[in-house]
Amino acid sequence: MIKYIIKRLLMLIPVLIGVSIIVFFLLRVCAPDPAPVVLGQHATEASMQEWREANGLNENIVVQYVNFIKGAVTGDFGESYYTNNSVLNEIGSRFPATIEIAIFAIIVATVFGILIGVVAAVKKNSIIDNASMVLSLVGVSIPIFWLGILFIILFVKILGWLPASGRIDSMLRPEGGTGFYLIDTLVQGDFEAFKNALWHLILPGVTLALYTLAIISRMTRSSMLDALNQDYIRTARSKGIGEGKVVLKHGLRNALMPIVTVIGLQFGSLLGGAVLTETVFAWPGIGSYTVECITKSDFPVIQAVVLIIATIFVLMNLIVDIIYAFLDPRIKYGKRES
Amino acid sequence: MASKKVLAADGADVQEAVHIEKPESRFKAMWDTLKKNKAALFGLFVIIILVIIAIIGPYITPYDPNSQVMKEAYQSPSASHWFGTDNLGRDIFSRIIVGTRVSLFVGIAAVAMSLLIGTILGSIAGYFGGKIDAVIMRIMDMMLSIPSILLAITLMAALGKGIDKAIIAIGVVSIPEYARIIRSSILSTKENDYVAAAKVIGNSDRRIIFHHIIPNVVSSIVVRATLGISTAILDTAALGFLGLGVQPPTAEWGDMLGRVRSMILVYPYMLIFPGLAITLAVLAFNLFGDGLRDALDPKSRS
């Protein structure tokens, strides 16, 4: 198993090098010159030339790439064209916001997705089942940003229950700590701030969750229907085991494999969805920051974001494969399949 | 079963094949199943309406979608402006009608592009295997390791705004998906006897791929492509919403939402109808695609 994990980790290296080449090529070769965007339309040719020189954009493209990779390996992604802060700091300060919303969304999507899927499968063709099918269809068809807009109109404008933007009221912002406001406020014992942060999290979190929730409930339903049709379920029932135990222990346990795959794969689309959700709710995470940097041609940041997100994504896939082995003892990695 | 069909349909290749009665055409069998699926028919109906609107849209709008009448700005929906007017006094209903063409065109063109390139790459990888397969599929893996919307906005940053650029960005993003489907279909089809037979009688690789393998994986491609159009329409709208899509003043549904985003609490009506249009279009292609899948592959029906 450990051998397999190491092998898979080594296989990630060429993938990430490839990703870095793709991104670097797109932004440094295909993209228009960032100098006029960064310095403004009225910048003189001389000042732009000086700026390019200072940012190493005049070097040979291969040299630029090698420098970029050398830095990236040590966690040095250069500086933002605008703030002169290191890219890693810029991203690091926004990272907890995105992880917080992503984890919130994946929890909501998993809990409710599996719950709805199981109930729909057990009560097949009932009202609940039909409602769940409609929900999953709408969930995959509605644009995530428009869903956010509808939520704001309903819960902020009409009902006035929840805040429309930001992570927390500025007065209550916790100092220092991990950057995860829900954790920081709890640790500091500031329950009012905790409640405030949670209130801010609900709308963007649920918006981000809905697509994944739809996919998970759909997958759970069909996977559960498969499992519940198996002979061992009939056997379990005929032995007089309670229906609840049959469904959960014999049904869900065996239906779990495809569900875990979907959850793992969804994590990537969740990070992508964060780009849109954060923009709608002015959530100060990496997603909205990336969009801002793209409109400002702040290329060092974009390169770093894409590379970091790709790394997280491929690691997630690896983790899913490892979880497999625990859920299904028949799977043994490291041996060649025939 | 599958091999019999090919013999009958492509009898010329296999000399003097045993005479087999021609089976009912695949298309008819599919249509018979599809007819019974109300949701899929509704999807098809909406798609047809959308296509008609996309074609005649610009000629039937009540107002010029791009004319800015400042004294008519910020009007709520009314009899004269069904969906209201935007901050520049443009009629939202007219802009949604005209935007249909952009969304459908980008959606279909992007899918066509990724389908073509994905099919070629997937066929080569699946049919030849070995090193070529490894190289192509590793590149696909690299592209798949970047969330699609992130890759799409990076591409837009590199290419700049515009409908043609949006097609490329959205098309490129889904190439790996098609390449993978085609590759795995080819890997499973390749082992069939009729492919071996075609090889034995000396058909060229290209002929085998295009005449014997592709026709047998075409149904899964059609389904994937139909569902792919809905994803492409969503991606187009997302790019537009982020301000990375079309050039102004082109009316595009996502772009219409993005531009008036900051007015959501004051003029919420501006943000309702373009989103409704996107959802309806995406829903239609999803319903029809699901229906096609069920009709083409009886096994997937639960």
Distance CA B282, CA A301 (A): 33
pLDDT of B95 over the 80 cut:
yes
Residues in A closer than 8 angstroms to B237, CB to CB, are 143, 145-146
Q: What is the mean pLDDT of chain A?
A: 86
Q: What are the boundaries of each domain within chain A?
A: 2-73, 93-295
Query: What is the 3-state secondary structure of chain B?
Result: CHHHHHHHHCCCCCCCCCCCCCCCCHHHHHHHHHHCCHHHHHHHHHHHHHHHHHHHHHHHCCCCCCCCCHHHCCCCCCCCCCCCECCCCCEHHHHHHHHHHHHHHHHHHHHHHHHHHHHHHHHHHHHHCHHHHHHHHHHHHHHHCCCHHHHHHHHHHHHCCCHHHHHHHHHHHHHHHHHHHHHHHHHHHHCCHHHHHHHHCCCCHHHHHHHHHHHHHHHHHHHHHHHHHHHHHHHHHHHHHCCCCCCCCCCCHHHHHHHCHHHCCCCHHHHCHHHHHHHHHHHHHHHHHHHHHHHHCHHHCC
- Mean pLDDT, rounded, for B32-56: 90
Contact check, Cβ <8 Å, B146/A30? no
Of A32, A140, A280, the CB nearest to B286: A140
CA distances from B228 to A53, B208, B282 (A): 44, 27, 10
pLDDT higher at B206 or B22? B206
Contact check, Cβ <8 Å, A275/B153? yes
pLDDT of A155 over the 90 cut:
yes
> pTM to 2 decimals?
0.86
- Mean pLDDT, rounded, for B88-107: 91
Write the pLDDT tens digit of every residue in B75-85. 888 888 888 88
Write the pLDDT tens digit of every residue in A102-135. 999 999 999 999 999 999 988 888 888 888 888 8
Give Cβ neighbours of residue A330 (< 8 Å, ≥ 6 apart): none
Write the pLDDT tens digit of every residue in A12-43. 888 889 999 999 888 888 888 888 888 887 88
What ipTM goes with this model? 0.86
What pLDDT was estimated at residue A192?
86
Q: What is the mean pLDDT of chain B?
A: 84
A93-295 domain in CATH 1.10.3720.10?
yes
What pLDDT was estimated at residue B113?
95
Residues in A closer than 8 angstroms to B157, CB to CB, are 26-27, 31, 294, 297, 302
- Mean pLDDT, rounded, for B145-152: 89
Residues in B closer than 8 angstroms to A314, CB to CB, are 145
Most confident of A170-179, B194-203, B283-292: B283-292
Of A137, A143, A152, the CB nearest to B286: A137
Write the pLDDT tens digit of every residue in B125-142. 988 888 999 999 989 988
Distance CA B180, CA B123 (A): 9
Q: In which band, very low, low, confident or very high, does the pLDDT at B24 lie, cut at 50, 70 and 90?
A: low
Query: What is the 3-state secondary structure of chain A?
Result: CHHHHHHHHHHHHHHHHHHHHHHHHHHHHHCCCCHHHHHCCCCCHHHHHHHHHHCCCCCCHHHHHHHHHHHHHCCCCCECCCCCCEHHHHHHHHHHHHHHHHHHHHHHHHHHHHHHHHHHHHCCCCHHHHHHHHHHHHHHHCCHHHHHHHHHHHHHHHCCCCCCCCCCCHHHCCCCCCCCHHHHHHHCCCHHHHHHHHHHHHHHHHHHHHHHHHHHHHHHHHHHHHHHCCHHHHHHHHCCCCHHHHHHHHHHHHHHHHHHHHHHHHHHHHHHHHHHHHHHCCCCCHHHHHHHHHHCCCHHHHHHHHHHHHHHHHHHHHHHHHHHHHHCCCCCCCCCCC
Nearest CA in chain A to B300: A222
pLDDT of B300 over the 80 cut:
no
pLDDT of A188 over the 80 cut:
yes
Q: Name the percent of chain B lying above pLDDT 90.
A: 35
What pLDDT was estimated at residue B18?
59
What pLDDT was estimated at residue B54?
93
